[in-house]
A = this chain, B = another copy of it.
Amino acid sequence: MATQGERKAETRQRLLDAAAELFAERGIEGASVDAIAERAERTSGAVYDHFGGKDGLLYALLEGWADDVAAVITAELAAASTLDDRLAALWRNVAHPPTGEGQWIRLEHELWSFAARHDGARARLRQRYEAAWAGIDSAIGEWARDEGMAPPSRPLGPAVIGVLLGLEMMRRLDPNAIDDCTAVATLRGAVGAPQPQKEHAR
């Protein structure tokens, strides 16, 4: 027998999961509160009770989600030992998502587009990205030590994340546009590492 607190927590989570799915599928403006509630097997009233409205639901989704993505990527990186393996692991996470929902990137873009139009959302999203950038920067620092390279002279986290998202955009338009090898080579450029083989120019 579930307590009231447990029921409340489950409803909250169901609404968050449903919102993540529908925002990705239909866009943030295209997903109605009713549709979200219906997918969560609740009614629209529950959304207003828990989050005060659609915006509140979006913001809650934004904040409770940073940790999840970061945790997955950190785990993937820990399992790789060479620079190329690590960069390939990063790319794999955006291009061929392993977990059930392969559309978190789409949601990422929805959030970005929404944030480009709404100041409040932009501030929150920026805060999230600053954490991700810092994580990449500290990881790059470790790699540089491992590979015997000099540490970067300025933060490269934004460039790495930007390259990952941008390449994925092209790949979604045409699955053959970006092969794994091109992606890793571009990422090497973003972290300031030289190209290893001579298959690229000079």
Residues of A within 8 A of B (CB): 25-27, 29-30, 106, 109-110, 112-117, 122, 125-126, 129-130, 133, 144, 149-154, 156, 158-159, 161-174, 177-179, 181-183, 185-190, 192-195, 199-202
Contact = CB atoms under 8 A, between A and B. Distances in A.
A174 B122 CA distance: 9
Contacts of A193: 201-202
Given A153-B200, A158-B167, 7 more contacts: A29-B29, A29-B30, A126-B174, A154-B182, A162-B163, A162-B166, A162-B167
Given A133-B177, A173-B122, A174-B158, A150 B115 contact: no
A164 B151 CA distance: 24
A98 to B, nearest CB: 20
Given A158-B178, A166-B164, A172 B116 contact: yes
| Copies of this chain in the oligomer | 2
A166 to B, nearest CB: 2
DSSP class of A's interface residues: helix, strand, loop or mixed?
helix
Contacts of A151: 201
Contacts of A164: 166
A156 B129 contact: no
A82 B156 CA distance: 24
Nearest to A190: B186
A190 B192 contact: no
Contacts of A163: 162-163, 166-167, 186, 190
B161 A170 contact: yes
18 contacts: A26-B117, A27-B113, A27-B117, A29-B30, A106-B113, A109-B109, A109-B112, A152-B200, A152-B201, A154-B181, A158-B177, A159-B170, A159-B186, A162-B168, A162-B186, A163-B186, A187-B189, A192-B200
